[in-house]
Structures are given as C-alpha cells and as structure tokens.
Structure 1
Amino acid sequence: MTDTAPQHSAPDRAPRRGRGKKEKQAEVDWVARLADEVIETAHGRDPDRTIVCASGLSPSGPIHLGNLREVMVPHLVADEIARRGIAVEHIVSWDDYDRFRKVPAGVEGIDDSWAQHIGKPLTSVPAPRGSEQPNWAEHFKAAMTESLARMGVEFRGIGQTAQYTSGAYRDQVLHAMDRRHEIDDVLAQYRTKVDAPDAGDAARVAEGSEGADDTEAQAAAAEGSGAASEEDGGSAAGYFPYKPYSKAFGTDATRVVSYDDETTELTYIATGPNGEQVTETMRLDSDFHGKLVWKVDWPMRWAYEGVDFEPSGVDHQSPGSSYVVGGQLVGPIFGGHQPIGPMYAFVGIAGQAKMSSSRGGVPTPADAMRIMEPAVLRWLYTRRRPNQSFSVAFDAEIQRLYDEWDALGRKVRTSAAQPGDLAMHARAIGTAAGELPSTPVPVPYRALASVADITGGDPDQTLRIVSGMVGDDVELTHLDQLRPRLDCAATWVRTQMPEEDRTRVRETPDLELLASLEPHRREALEMLSQRLTDDWSLDGLTTLVYGVPKLQAGFEVGEKKLPPEVKAAQRELFALLYRLLVGKDTGPRLPTLLLCLEPEKVRSLITP
C-alpha cells in the first residue's frame, strides 16, 4: 500500500508464541526483541500514540535486494507490533527530491544523454524510454511498489518532492536556518574525521559474514543514496543547511552566499552546464525549490513524522555520519527524539544473476521473485538478524535453500517445532493482515528444476512426471496446483542454469561403454532394467537404484546398515548410469532423471 491514509492497526491474527522461554530463543527471535524495545520506548513517551516504523528509499535507479533490507526490517517489526493489536504504521519516505547523481549502468531505455540531467531532482529527470511513468523517480518507485505488494508489505508512502515543493516543511526549514549556527557547531565536531566508510570499507566490514565475498554487490549496496557522505552545508560564506535547486538550470549546482533572517531571502550563485553563472534569490517562507542537506533533513523528518524505529546501513552509522549527527540534532533543534536504529549488514548475491538489469549487476526484488516465491524471499530477510550479512541465491544454491525452506515447513507441522521456528515461518508466509498466496502442492524445487531441464518445460510431460512424485494421497490434475513454484523453477533453469549443467539425454546407447563392462556391472543394469516398472514412482525408483547393489551383495532392499563396499558399489552404479543416460559423471538426482524418461527409453540406453 502506498501514498494512502495510514493504517494504524491490524488484527491480532497470529500471536507470537513462546517468547522468553529460552535465552537461545530470545536470540533467534530478533523481531520480537526489537518490537519489545520499540513498544516500551514509544509507549514510555506516550502510551496512546501510534508507533511509527520508517524506511527510506532513493529511487535513483533500480532498487535492489540490498535496499530491500531497509524496508524489511521495519516491516517485520511493525508487523509484529500489529500482531499484538497495537496501533502502528510503517512509512516509506521516497527520497525522490534527491539529486540525480549519475547515469546508472545497465538500465534499459537510457543512454549517455541522461547525463545532462545530473544535479536535477529525481522527479525532474525523464523516465527511461518506453516507461509509462512520468519521470525517473516514479519509474523505479513503481517497480519497487509492485514487488513490495507481492511480498505483503503494507506501508504509507511519503514523496519528498511533494513534501518540499508543497511547503509542508516550511516551518522546519525556517527553524533550521534560524538555528544554523548551533547545527554548525555540532557538525564541526566531525569535520576533521572521516564521515563514513566508502564502498570498499563497507565491504570489509562484512568480511567473514555469509555473502561477504560478493564485493560487487556490497559496493553497490553501500553506495545507497550516498547520503552519509553528502556535503553538510558548510561554505566560505558561512553555514547554510539548505540547498536550493536553481530556477535557471534546474540543478543543485548552487552555492549560497547570504541569508536574511528577517525577510528569509536566500541569495545563491547557480552554475550552468557550460560553466556560466547567475545570481538568484528565493524567499524560504514562500519559495520551495530546494531542500535541507541530508544530515539536517533526516533528523527533521524523525521529529516531523514522530519516527520510533528506523534502521540504517553501515554507511550511516560511523562517527560523523548521518545517524550519529542526527541524534545530536533531533532533540535540541527539532524537539523530537532519535528512533531506535539498529545497523543492518549487506545482502550479497550467490551466483551470477544473468537476468538482472540493476546497477552494478545487483538484482532487484522482482528479479528474485522470478525464481523464488515471495514467502521464501521474506524468509531470507526474517531468519537473519539485521547485523548478519547473507546472500540471496541465484545459482544452484537455490535448490538447497528450498530444501531448507521445505524442511522448516515440515517441522512447523510437528511437535518438534520450537517457538522460533513457528515465529519465523509465520512471518515468512504472511503478515498480520493474512497469509500470502502459496503453492498448493509444493513439490521439491530441485525436482521441478530437473523436470523443467529435461523436458524443456513441456506441460504434458511435466504433469505426467510430477504425478509420479507426489504420492497416491495427492491427486494432481493440472499444473496450476504446482504454481507459482513450478514457474519459478522453470525460470531459474531458463535464465540462470549454466549451459554446461543442462541435461542432454543420449539419443542412442553408448555401445562401446556397455561392451566394456564387467559381468557384475552388466548384472546390475539387467536387474535394474527388469525391475523398472515394479513401482514407477519417485519413491519406488529411489528404492530401486539404491537397492540393486544391496541385492547383489546379498542384503535386503530395506537394509540400512551397509558395509563400505556396498556403499561404494552404489556410488559406482550411479556414476555408470549417468554416463549411460546423459554422457556425464553427474546430473539430476537419478530417481528424478529416470522418472522423466519412459521405461523403454531407459532400457534402451542401459542394456545392449
């Protein structure tokens, strides 16, 4: 939900369970711990007010998976508060009145001509060619808004262009200018220090954490809006915490030279694209084409919106950076309070995301939800504490990730589930407003990927094969029962699976290999061929391929305790079957591969 009236409360449909039972559990359930802290602090000030959790996004380009953490941490905390029946709202400040800093790489529909707009507000920059949106900011806001809706994230959007140009912040701007010398004194404490880590420093902060090896993704995430390293308003003419956009050129290539406290007249020199300069004036009580510098703007908004909780990245939390300085300005200058603001770590990418058109190759939430269900993406941001780095898998790791997700789902349906498991799963599959859409028949992702790989996505073949995977207790009549997971797995195969990993079933048998086999290998293949159709299902074929070496060694098929030589014989049979079926030493899980082929096709390839 965006740009609508605030939603102050939500029904307590999924109460949090088990809080405080174990010290370990308190560590796992970071969402509940933060919600406790926010409620205690906010209601300690005023028990009747609506709690405000905030995020800030700059639509300067594709809003990527690193930026998503800026939204998900406040969302999860706000949602937990709502589940308890407490009035809360999540606001997202769209920093669309920020300057256009550079032309991002890899964005379709733009070229170098967009460089002429550098320095203009993002809402004054044309949208990429072919966009239905009126400007650059709205183009990227629309994509993110759609993704957040799919993830069940409800919020009230606040466009900063509208806020500033409408005069909503008029009194706050005039107040900041009146108190500019006090603001300058605070900022002066840090001007000899390093303002904030650069992207390389930020990447090193996360070194050793999960996903920390993807420095390209981290550097792009660290860049953010660049706000932590912005100029703070100091100049040779004095300190002025306001940056005008020029009337002549429309950019922020301006330098304030004087301010009249009585008339609120601001005089500044504007520089044009060819170096030409003009002197302009504006009255801050009636002209609204400019904004407070970031380190003053942020604490002003904390006070204006009454923000109780807002996390930020490492670039905002070093000495002299915006969160630290803001904490020293928000109370004395604006009469507000600094929100609880934990630092969040980077989100990396596991594998090359070929589909991404994002700046620096960092994928967006929409990219991720082409290959994974929204609940799984929510889970990734739920299961790690904000200060823990993690990766979103675009490579084959996504199959293991889905195995873990399915295992969690099975666990929560049993008495073995811990309170943390239950809370984490509940937050992933839905919100206080209800559950997200889910796949009716959740067949393992790796199995669906194998089927899509081997069949090329043929719907009839897919339905036939997967019907043999789901068991007799499930009646699979159409592919919609497998969606959206099936479509996610098929998209992953089509867009992310390396060409060398694709499965190519042999057209003809490898007669030379078959002729070279020792008698016990031929016997194993013959036993397999004879029993193929005894139980043509995933479970039946799994039992068969593991069971043939057991039978050859004189064991029952169900025997669990096997000597090393039988386990070695199993591995050798698997490798042989892969070479005979796909011409490689490895491939999809053998039972899945066999199920994807007709029995006669298998027999034709494994027997002379």
Structure 2
Amino acid sequence: MTHWIEEIVEKLAPRAEGKEFFVANGGLSVSGLQHVGRLRGEITIVDTVVRLLRKRGINAHHKLTLYTVDAWKGKDTQLSQFRDPEEAKTYKGWPLYMVPDPYGCHSNWVEHYWADFGNYLDQFSEKVEVVTTKDLYEKDERMKRFVLLSVTELREKVVSTINKYRGEKKLHKDYIPFQPICEKCGRVDATEAIEVDPVNYRVKYVCKNCGHEGWQSLTKGKLNWRVEWVGVWYALNVDFEPYGKDHATPGGSRDSCNELAEKVYGFKPPEGLAYEWVGYRRQGKDLGDMGSSDFIGFSPKQWLEVAEGEVLRLIYLSAPPMRRVVLSLEEVPSYYDEYDKAERVYYGVEEGDPLLAKSYTLSALKPLPEKMPFQLRYINAMILSQVLPSKGEDLNEVIARLRETKQLKQDLTDYDIHRIKTRITLAKKWLQLYAPAQYRITIVETPPVKEISKLLGDGVRELLIELREQLYRLQEWNEEEIKKTMMNIKKTPQQEKQFFKALYLAFFGKEYGPRLAPYLAMLNKDFVIQRLAEVTNSAKGEQDG
C-alpha cells in the first residue's frame, strides 16, 4: 500500500533526472508567533520528500525561505506585544526585520519570534538551509538579475499577467512592481516607484505616508508579492514547494505565479502541494486555525517541553495533506498513545492499518531499533512522577516499580532506558504546565476514614471488600484488568456513585479525580490491597462506634 507522500515523490522523481541537485523549499513570513502549524508543510512534508528522494540517489536539498522584508501590519495582536502599543504604531509598514524586538532580548522582531521555531528545527527534520528575502535582495546575484528584469525588460508583461488575476482593481500600465523602503519614515508598504535607473540599480520613488521623494537601491525594498514569490523560485532553483490552501484556489495566487514563471520569465515553476491549515484547541474548544500575526497557537519550543518531534511528525504524516489537524497541548497523552499504537503495528505486535505503520517509519528521524522497544505509556510516566517517592527522578526506582507491577518483563537496552527517562521528564512537565486539574493528585499517607465511613452504607463496604478480594486474585496487574474488575462488580447507580467516591478518598483524599485504573496499575499491588483493607476495616470501626 502506497503512502500519500510516496505518491508525491513518485511524481517528483522524473523532474530530478539530469539535474545536479533538487531543491525543495518552504516559505514563512515571520509576522509573529511561529507556531507548530508551520511545521506541517514547510518542514515535515518537505523534509520527508527530501529524505525519500535521497533514498533514490537524488541530491535533494531542503531550503526554507523567510519573508523578512514583508511589511509589519501593526495589528492589535502585534501591537499588544509591546509595552507601549501607541509608540509601536510608528513601526507600521516597516519591513519585519526593521521592527524592534518588543522584549529587547534580540536585535529585531524577526530574530525574536524566529528563535522559538528556528532553534528547534533539528528536532523535527534533518538539515534545513534557511535563507531570508532580505539576504536574497542584498546578496544573491540571481535574485538581483530577476529584480532588474522585473522592473525593466519584463515589466509590461509582468503587469499585464498580474492584471489577468486582479478582477476590477487593475494595476496601471506604468506600474513598477517594486516597493523601496522609504529612507525617511522606513515604510515599505507606502512607497511607489516612479522611475528606474538600471545602470545604478536603483529606483526613484514617492512615499505616500510621509511625502518623501528620492532614490533607493533595489537591494532595499521588495517586489510585488506575486513577483517576489516567483523570484524566490528563480533565485533558489526551486523544484518543489508546498503551499497553504489559501493559495490553492483555481485562478488564484499559485496559478498566477505559475503563469508568471512560465510565460514571462521562461522557467518551469516548481511542483506544488496544497495543504490544510492546523487548528488550535484549548480546554476542548476549537479556537480556529493557528495564526502567526494573530498569535494563535503554540511554538515548537513549547511542544518540545512536553513531547518529542517525531510524535508531531506522525500526526502530520498520518493525515492526508488537505485534512484539517487540530492540536492541543492538553491532549499530548493521547498523541503518544497513537504513536505507540503505530509503533506496535510497525513491529507486528498489534494488527492495524499498514499506512499507520508506514507513517511511523517516515516520522522517524533516527534509525529504528531492530526489536520493538519497551513502551512506557505517557500517562503512566506522568503517574509515576506523582506516586513514587522520588517523583520519577530516581530512574532505578522507576524501573523497579515497572517490574513490580509486571509492566516491565524484558531486559532494557540503552535505547529503552533513555526513552523511559525522556518520557518521565516530558510527562512531568506536561503535568505541571497543561494537565487538567483532576490529574494533579497525591497518594495520601492516611486515608480520611471518617469521610469514607459515611459512604459505606447500603452495601458499599461489602462492594469494596469484594473489589479487594478480586484484585488480590488478579494474575496480571495492569490497567485493563483492574478496570474490568471494578466494572464487573455489580452495583446500583447509587452504590456506584458512593463506591467510586470512597475509592478516590482512599487513595487521593478527595471525592473525585482522574480515571482510577491507570493510577492503581502504577501502584504496588500489595499497597493497593492493604489500603483497601485498611479503609474497609477502619470504616467498619467508625460505623460500629
């Protein structure tokens, strides 16, 4: 069975024939929060395509273009990043790289918001070569040649081609598709080029914001956005570039850029792939698509505090590119369960969708072990970080508890030990930062017998005794068997309510909490049996008294 991304590679391979190298590119505008949604197309898809092409002997490269000369819009969400939003309004229209860092820890806006994304790319992909449009305009000779052609020889063709896609708002026939940075007010969105001096590689312009008129180098500014996109393709020799669904409309921006490349500049545009945006969910509510300038979502840095990069890669590779994915940091344990399931299917331990197993192999950034590694469920790692005396800090204690509870029956490899340690660390951080309140528990040293005794009438005490006896007989001490045992004890609706309240009080000291079975499974069996005996016996004394 062929994976969807393998089908893409199959279509791309012929394009690489006879080429010295194959370039796959992604593009981002650093307009604010660099969220994990941007890891879907520009990083995960491109990286996987590049690695599969390399397996075919193709010299493929992964590039990522940052559009750093785009105008800063000064949206409310952007202004609110500054201590003085009113002062920040003066930066509106400036190129992104010229806007100050609101927090003063980096040299500018771009570097600040890029840090929580760019510094962690190696956790989500192999080598990525990052380029900025600022550097392309200032240093790249192919880009300089493209810019000059766009404002001189090919200008009229560029304008007429763009106008085919602009509806009623046509560009005037003398339009020069370049906006220089105003030397006086710094804006790049308010200038109009009115004359070209190709010999000195500059344009004359008028600024509609401050009224300044002067000359500016073609290295200080940007092309019309459609032309710029084509310019990046030309400068970097791009062969493949995925794009968000907003560019995928028939007759839309991607089609217009393809026509510019082919009919005006005379080169073959890159193959493309449309993908759906990534949504953001908090407390069960879908807050819409993640957005950079709207600051909706969370960064790769935040993801890596509680989860590994391969887990996110699996999510993206398991879903067809035009299927919407919605992410929540509160749901990380369920993402790990899906990852572990994919791993079991891959190693043949569990039956499942072969495409899920294929997604698992594609998500891996390092060679996979020959035998299936030991799996410590993420939720169990979180539980161990609460119920063990060392709170999971003592790895020997963790391993000992896993052996006591019969969850660990095999010898551990170095890989296994490292993974256990990693999951404990991540799950502990997740508990601290994102876990719903009911997950934050402690096992009480002394159960509140008086409170429990009030719940043990109407046969509930006998039900707890039955539970204790049934648990004692269990041959396998695990979540599933414990859950079955609790559910198989016949109870009336009223008894069931009292029964679970008493259990929560017995172990957590409060009448509610997370699902009990996973927690009991991570506790020593003898401790659980003894605690139930203590509660039922002490409570009987309270009732008799």
Give the alignment's TM-score, normalised by structure 2. Answer: 0.82
Which of 441, 447, 456 is equivalent to 1:517?
Answer: 456
Change (3 A) 1:140 1:440: farther
Structure 1: distance between partners of 2:37 and 2:483: 43
Match of 1:11 in 2: none
Q: What pairs up with 1:28-427 in 2 under 5 angstroms?
A: 29-40=3-14, 42-43=15-16, 46-71=17-42, 72-102=44-74, 104-105=77-78, 111-112=84-85, 113-131=87-105, 133-166=106-139, 168=141, 169-178=143-152, 179-192=154-167, 234=171, 238-256=174-192, 258-260=194-196, 266-271=203-208, 276-282=210-216, 284=218, 288-319=219-250, 321-352=252-283, 359-395=294-330, 397-414=331-348, 416=351, 419-427=354-362
The structure 2 residue matched to 1:473, chosen from 407, 410, 421, is 410
Quick one: structure 1 residues 468 and 480, their matched pair in 2 at CA, closer, same or farther if it must change by over 3 Å?
Answer: farther
Amino acid of the structure 2 residue aligned with 1:330: A
CA distance in 2, matches of 1:371, 1:294: 37
- Deviation of the 1:368 alpha carbon: 1.6
Q: Which amino acid aligns with 2:194?
A: S
Q: Give the one of 433, 443, 451 matched to 1:495.
A: 433
Does the 8 Å CA contact 1:58/1:94 hold for their aligned counterparts? yes
> Is 1:448 paired with 2:381?
yes
Tell me the distance in 2 between the aligned counterparts of 1:116 and 1:270.
15
Shift of the 526–282 alpha-carbon distance from structure 1 to 2, 3 Å rule, reads: closer
Question: What per-residue deviation string (whole Å, max 9, x for no partner) do you get for residues 173-206 of structure 1?
Answer: 1111122221221222222269xxxxxxxxxxxx
Structure 2: unaligned runs, 5 residues or longer:
540-545
Matched to 1:125, the amino acid is V
- Calculate the aligned-residue CA RMSD, in Å: 3.8
Q: CA deviation at 1:451?
A: 3.1
Offset, 1:330 = 0.2
CA contact (8 A) 2:449 2:535 kept: yes
Structure 2 CA distance for aligned equivalents of residues 153 and 186 of structure 1: 38
CA–CA distance in structure 2, aligned partners of residues 518 and 309 of structure 1: 70
Give the partner amino acid of 1:483. K
Q: Aligned partners of 1:290, 1:256: CA distance in 2, in Å? A: 11
SS of the residue 2:241 aligns to:
coil
* Identical amino acids, percent of aligned pairs: 21
**Which consecutive unaligned segments of at least 5 residues does structure 1 have?**
1-24, 195-231, 553-564
CA contact (8 A) 1:353 1:496 kept: no
How far does residue 293 in structure 1 lie from its aligned partner after superposition? 1.1
Whichever residue aligns with residue 182 of structure 1, its letter is K
Q: Is the 8 A contact 1:524 1:548 kept in 2?
A: no
Shift of 1:161: 0.8
The residue type equivalent to 1:484 in the other structure is T
Residue aligning to 2:447 = 508
Q: TM-score, normalised by structure 1?
A: 0.74
**1:146 CA displacement:** 2.0
With over 3 angstroms needed to count, the CA separation of the structure-2 counterparts of 1:503 and 1:120, relative to structure 1, is same
- Partner of 1:153, secondary structure, is coil
Question: Is the helix fraction higher in 1 or 2?
Answer: 2
How far apart, in 1, do the equivalents of 2:307 and 2:80 lie? 23
Count of equivalent residues: 514
Specify the SS of the correspondent of 1:82: helix
| Deviation at residue 361 of structure 1 after TM alignment | 3.3
Q: Is the 1:300–1:334 Cα contact (8 Å) retained in structure 2?
A: no
Cα drift, residue 571 of structure 1 = 6.7
Q: For 2:442 and 2:84, how far apart are their aligned partners in 1?
A: 40
SS of the aligned residue for 1:472 comes to: coil
Task: Name the stretch that deviates more: 262-271 or 379-388.
Answer: 262-271
**CA–CA distance in structure 2, aligned partners of residues 475 and 67 of structure 1:** 36
Work out the CA distance in 2 between the residues paired with 1:516 and 1:332.
Answer: 81
Q: Deviations over 1:553-604 (max 9, x none)?
A: xxxxxxxxxxxx5999997755652354343355233252364474444543
Instruction: Quote the Cα distance in structure 2 between the aligned partners of 1:89 and 1:459.
Output: 41
User: Do the aligned residues in 2 keep the contact of 1:66 with 1:347 (CA within 8 Å)?
Assistant: yes
Q: Which residue of 2 aligns with 1:215?
A: none
Contact 2:36 2:299 survives alignment (8 Å): yes
Specify whether residues 515 and 476 from structure 1 end up closer, same or farther in structure 2 by C-alpha distance, changes over 3 A only.
farther
Aligned to 1:526: 465
In 1, Cα distance between equivalents of 2:375 and 2:168: 54
Bigger drift between 254-263 and 299-308 goes to 254-263
How far apart, in 1, do the equivalents of 2:29 and 2:274 lie?
A: 18
Match of 1:224 in 2: none
Deviation, structure 1 residue 350 = 3.1
Quote the offset at 1:164 in angstroms: 0.6
**Cα offset, 1:79, TM superposition:** 1.6
Q: 1:105 to 1:576 in 2, by over 3 A?
A: farther
Q: Is the Cα–Cα contact under 8 Å of residues 140 and 235 in structure 2 kept in the other structure?
A: no
Report the 3-state secondary structure (helix = DSSP H, G, I; strand = E; otherwise coil) of the residue aligned with 1:335. Answer: coil
Distance 1:85 1:547, change over 3 A: same
Q: Give the Å deviation of 1:525.
A: 2.4
Q: 1:265 to 1:373 in 2, by over 3 A?
A: closer
Q: Aligned in 2, Cα 1:110/1:427: closer, same or farther, shift over 3 Å?
A: farther
CA displacement at 1:471 relative to structure 2: 2.4
Residue aligned with 2:263, SS: coil
Distance 1:524 1:255 in 2: 80
Q: CA contact under 8 A between 1:528 and 1:548: conserved in structure 2?
A: yes
